[in-house]
């Protein structure tokens, strides 16, 4: 059985769609799929919620978009494959009568709330029931590593696999999915040379923000997720927090050292002190800056005190040892690794401008 594919807008996250739904979703092999949709906070049934069924991991490609004119103005339409859709009744119940056996993803949307669930459908299965619980949408930011390699390929778009949640890259190669369901999301990123790369199971939590640092020239295993919740002990480490609010980039801040240290760095994972200590380097714009002292608090917090050499090569430890208007900082290179031996994917840098 075939028919027109459902055309769904990027504003799908707001439970709005444009287009015509498919008639049927497969062949009749006795596989009904039924379920209910309710709000996670109150377990109240969600009436007239939209349920979209898609093949799990289905990649409709990038570039098949077409312009459409929704009620709010010009938008972008996509044509995902393996699509079917339905709506819940007054009790929040829904039903797909006939679908192919296989792995599917269900996305529900109602009143600005979203839900996502995976389901496995077997051949000649009498019935499969699934419950979806609506919650606040999550945000996923896709960022590039701070690297000087300008020859690397770049990405031009991202999609949550099997769904209509997509975004295009800005001039810096960064993307943001502002409203996606919570859960373990598979992200498909589309490179400028038409190669797609998939990052599996990025954790996004309701109402939260998850980040993924990417490098199109490196395998996906080198990418670094910054999840909202539990962090994989075998995952890539990153800087979780420092006493300098501006962790990375070219936006140094005014900083007045009030302690015996200049920078306090908290890592996302327990670190191997030997390798990480050797990987920490001090720098400045116009002076021979080195590390005067470095000490650990536990296995994931390190304190760094910098030193600027004077004319005879000795540390100037006076209150005004830093130059006014000069950017100083600390770099952690890729030889830093966690207690489990997982290394930094790229250098991480903390910059600051101290008040003398």
Average pLDDT over residues 20-44: 67
pLDDT at 341: 94
* CA–CA gap between residue 37 and residue 113 (Å, rounded): 11
Give the pLDDT confidence of 332-348 residue by residue, as tens digits: 999 999 999 999 999 99
Distance CA 3, CA 318 (A): 78
Of 209 and 324, the structure prediction assigns the larger pLDDT to 209
- The 8-class DSSP code of residue 309 comes to B
Residue 285 near residue 308, CB atoms below 8 Å: no
21/87 Cα distance (integer angstroms)? 11
Q: Which residue has the higher pLDDT, 221 or 232?
A: 221
- Residue range 217-235: average pLDDT? 82
The span from the CA of 179 to the CA of 177, in Å, is 6
DSSP category for residue 345: S
pTM: 0.75
If you average pLDDT over every residue of the chain, what do you get? Answer: 79
Give the model confidence (pLDDT) of 251-268 as tens digits: 566 666 667 888 999 999
Q: Does the pLDDT at position 170 exceed 50?
A: yes
Domains annotated for the chain, with CATH where assigned, are 8-134 (2.60.40.1120), 138-226 (2.60.40.4130), 239-354 (2.60.40.3710)
């Amino acid at each position: 059985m075939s028919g027109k594919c459902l055309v769904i807008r990027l504003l799908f996250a707001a439970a709005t769609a444009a287009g015509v739904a498919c008639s049927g979703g497969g062949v009749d092999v006795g596989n009904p799929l039924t379920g209910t949709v309710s709000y996670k906070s109150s377990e109240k049934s969600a009436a007239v919620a939209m349920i979209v069924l898609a093949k799990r991991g289905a990649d409709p490609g990038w570039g098949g978009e077409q312009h459409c004119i929704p009620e709010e103005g010009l938008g972008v339409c996509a044509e995902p494959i393996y699509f079917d859709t339905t709506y819940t009744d007054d009790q929040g119940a829904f039903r797909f009568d006939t679908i192919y056996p296989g792995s599917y993803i269900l996305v529900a949307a109602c009143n600005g709330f979203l839900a996502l669930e995976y389901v496995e459908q077997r051949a000649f299965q009498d019935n499969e029931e699934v419950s979806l619980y609506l919650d606040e949408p999550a945000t996923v930011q896709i960022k590039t590593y701070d690297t000087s390699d300008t020859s690397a390929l770049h990405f031009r778009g991202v999609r949550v696999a099997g769904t209509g949640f997509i975004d295009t890259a800005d001039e810096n190669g960064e993307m943001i999915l502002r409203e996606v369901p919570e859960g373990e999301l598979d992200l498909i990123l589309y490179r400028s040379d038409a190669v797609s790369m998939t990052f599996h199971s990025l954790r996004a939590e309701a109402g939260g923000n998850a980040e993924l640092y990417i490098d199109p020239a490196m395998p996906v295993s080198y990418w670094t997720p910054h999840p909202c919740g539990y962090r994989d002990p075998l995952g890539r480490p990153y800087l979780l927090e420092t006493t300098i609010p501006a962790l990375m980039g070219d936006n140094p801040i005014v900083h007045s050292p009030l302690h015996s240290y200049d920078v306090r760095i908290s890592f996302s994972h327990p670190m191997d002190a030997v390798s990480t200590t050797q990987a920490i380097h001090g720098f400045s714009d116009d002076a021979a800056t080195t590390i005067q002292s470095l000490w650990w608090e536990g296995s994931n917090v390190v304190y760094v005190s910098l030193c600027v050499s004077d004319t005879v090569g000795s540390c100037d430890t006076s209150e005004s040892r830093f130059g006014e208007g000069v950017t100083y900082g600390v770099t952690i290179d890729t030889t830093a690794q966690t207690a489990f031996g997982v290394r930094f994917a790229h250098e991480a840098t903390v910059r600051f401008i101290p008040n003398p």
